[in-house]
Amino acid sequence: MIVSLSGALLAAVFFGVACVLQARGARATAVGEGIDPRLLMRLLRQWPFLIGVGLDGLGFVAELAALRSLALFVVQAAVAAALAVTAVVASWVLSTRLRGAEWVAVCGVCCGLALLGLTASSESAAPVSTAFHYGLLVAAIFLGVLGVVTTRLPAALRSAALGGCAGLCFGLVAVAARTLTDLVPINLVRDPATYALVGAGILAFLFFGTALQRGSVTATTAAMIIGETVIPAGVGVTVLGDHTRPGFGLIAVAGFVLALASALALARFGELSAPTTSDPDPCRKELKS
């Protein structure tokens, strides 16, 4: 149990630091039209984004380890705490002090996670049908189409919508990972949930990178946090048999809401400004108050 909780928190740290680095890399990359798969190749030429991807990989390994024995609502709430890490790291990178309200939100995230930690019980996902595994693959395809459609939205909504699609894809990755109970390579190759996990992961990076490049990293990240947290938690409880320790249900709900609300409260802080033509260094950012 302690190891699994530590894995979830470690994933939040990796994801939080990665978000700042990926924002820097995305802002320094040429903007394309619509959803451009070549964007991933351009982003990977930016060392901040490349390091961020490496940290995301480590975060996913830690998240996967946590998902083996923790409920989705606990793990995904811990992943939401990455926004608190992002705010703190961004303030250090940009040499800007966090204000009192920001520290209150950071503390709120920590308190919410502490409550969830108290309610967590060690468990495995309930078995699901083969149809559900195929459903995950269909969902990944649907989210891919939805992400492309969002590029036609007004500019004011586009980055948040793409961030939401990225979050849903990340959430699908978590659900698929939780359903993969048999990790024997030959069985993984035969399982449609494996392809849903890989496809959704690629789409998540593409949508998130595109959204960061087109608009507010704050709106993008907030939408992503909601997408990757709320729906997977619901699927875990209603389909995969996730539950709390006996008598701790209300505490779990309070902890989840507190962690998520505090993380979203941080979304309006730490916005990285877009590079301008007068700034020769596209990675030089400042916080908007």
- Token representation of residue 140: 């990944």
Which one-letter amino acid corresponds to residue 289?
S
Residue pair 230/170 in contact (Cβ under 8 Å)? The answer is: no
What is the reported pLDDT for 5? 83
Q: Is residue 169 part of a domain?
A: yes
Q: Specify if 279 maps to a domain.
A: no
Question: Rounded to whole angstroms, what are the CA distances from 137 to 2, 46, 177, 226, 236?
Answer: 32, 31, 12, 21, 17
Predicted pLDDT of residue 284: 34
Domain membership of residue 225 (yes or no) is yes
- Backbone dihedral angles phi then psi of residue 257, each to the nearest 5 degrees: -65, -45
Is the predicted pLDDT of residue 28 greater than 60, yes or no?
no
Decide if 285 is inside a domain. no
Domains held by the chain: number:
1
Which residues form the domain of 237? 2-268
Q: Quick one: pLDDT band at residue 71, thresholds 50, 70, 90?
A: confident
286 inside domain: no
3-state helix, strand, coil in the chain (%, to 5): 75, 0, 25
**First-last CA distance in the chain:** 40
- Give, as one character, the DSSP assignment of residue 215: S
Q: Contact 84/20 with Cβ under 8 angstroms?
A: no
- What pLDDT was estimated at residue 33? 54
What mean pLDDT do residues 12-39 have?
67
- Which of these, 176, 11, 3, lies nearest to 80 by C-alpha position? 11
Tens of pLDDT, residue by residue over 53-70, are 889 889 888 988 888 888
Q: Which of 44-58, 68-82, 113-127, 272-286 has the lowest mean pLDDT?
A: 272-286
Is 278 contained in some domain?
A: no
